[in-house]
Amino acid sequence: MERSMRVATFSIGGERRVGIVDADSETIAPFDLTVERAESGILALIDRNGAGAPRTLSPIPLAQVELEAPIPQPRRNIFCVGKNYYEHAHEFAKSGFDSSAAAGAIPKNPIIFSKVPESVIANRASVMIDSKVSTAIDYEAELAVIIGKAGRGISKENAFDHVWGYTIVNDVTARDLQGKYSQWLIGKSQDTFCPMGPWAVTRDEIDLEKTGIRCFVNGELRQDSKIPLLIFDIPTIIATLSEGITLRPGDIIATGTPAGVGIGFDPPKYLKAGDFVRVEIDGIGALENPIAERLQ
């Protein structure tokens, strides 16, 4: 396992790099990786198969770099868990957009869907609304698990052995498309609908039993919960996914969102151009994204 650290993928001088973030000094120390290896973001570290992190070069002020998503191009779809906080399960079941509502508000087993890799964008990048496609865009603050060790049939007891670390995801959703198609892939996978970042942390960097998660829209607190309140905890999610599916290093699992999403309000508080969304998770940081209208 890598030593405890906060790792970012970033670009400087037109080149993609990976480095260790020092939040106190507001610097980032690049790993001594070739440009070709750094192209995959933190996958360059995960793929070292326990060999440890390479040496770091001289620190650079964070203000001089442009942060990218920790894994700018995931190798396959992002696994996601639906209705995984009790209050959110109830608010979503009442919304009229829940294709699983007939089975009850609280799921008996994890509800799994996915987002396509191309939906990933970085911290501070714009979520683009295409009003010709959807007029009901919602936010969902989520903790994302990054798999570091392959496995199939993983037990709950051994699940954390397969976790490399964590990052933040905003599972942006087109609610009208979610209802129209009676499944979630299209409404979840629109271009720019998976902000991720601002960086990733290794699994021992945070204490999940004390980790809070919050979402603000234009400074207004909308979501405020704690990771221990998940209906299905991380070991259960990993065990469920790996029943017949081999999890691979670099796989990303978004673990679900708490109550307070836009659809939960009456009337709904959907995102619009000019809005600004901030997702915070204790021990990781804050993921911030403006909302803009797609002009063509």
Instruction: State the total domains in the chain.
Output: 2
Which SS3 state, helix, strand or coil, does residue 181 take?
Answer: coil
CA distances from 112 to 11, 98, 156 (A): 33, 13, 17
On whether both 161 and 214 belong to a single domain, the answer is yes
Q: What band does 283 get if pLDDT is binned at 50, 70 and 90?
A: very high
- What pLDDT, on a 0 to 100 scale, did the predictor assign at position 1? 44
Span 227-249, pLDDT tens digits: 999 999 999 999 999 999 999 99
On whether both 44 and 151 belong to a single domain, the answer is no
On whether both 278 and 252 belong to a single domain, the answer is yes
On whether both 178 and 273 belong to a single domain, the answer is yes
Helices of type H across the chain: 35-38, 43-46, 86-93, 175-180, 185-188, 234-241
Q: What band does 107 get if pLDDT is binned at 50, 70 and 90?
A: confident
Q: What band does 106 get if pLDDT is binned at 50, 70 and 90?
A: confident
Instruction: Judge whether 73 lies within some domain.
Output: no
On whether both 288 and 144 belong to a single domain, the answer is yes
Two tokens at 54?
């390479």
Domain boundary among the residues 21, 41, 68 is at 68
CA distances from 206 to 165, 188, 190, 284 (A): 9, 28, 31, 8
Two tokens at 242?
């790996």
* pLDDT average, residue stretch 48-60: 86
54 upstream amide cis, omega within 30 of 0: no
On whether both 17 and 98 belong to a single domain, the answer is no
Which value, to the nearest 10 degrees, does the dihedral of the CA atoms of residues 195, 201, 204, 209 take? -30
| DSSP per-residue letters across 41-108 | TTHHHHTTTTS-PPPB---EEGGGSEEE-SSSS-SSPEEEEES-BHHHHHHHHTTT--TTGGG-SS-S
Instruction: Judge whether 1 lies within some domain.
Output: no
On whether both 226 and 272 belong to a single domain, the answer is yes
d(CA 170, CA 183): 19
Q: Flag whether pLDDT at 79 surpasses 50.
A: yes
Range of the domain at 59: 6-68
- What pLDDT, on a 0 to 100 scale, did the predictor assign at position 97? 60
On whether both 126 and 221 belong to a single domain, the answer is yes
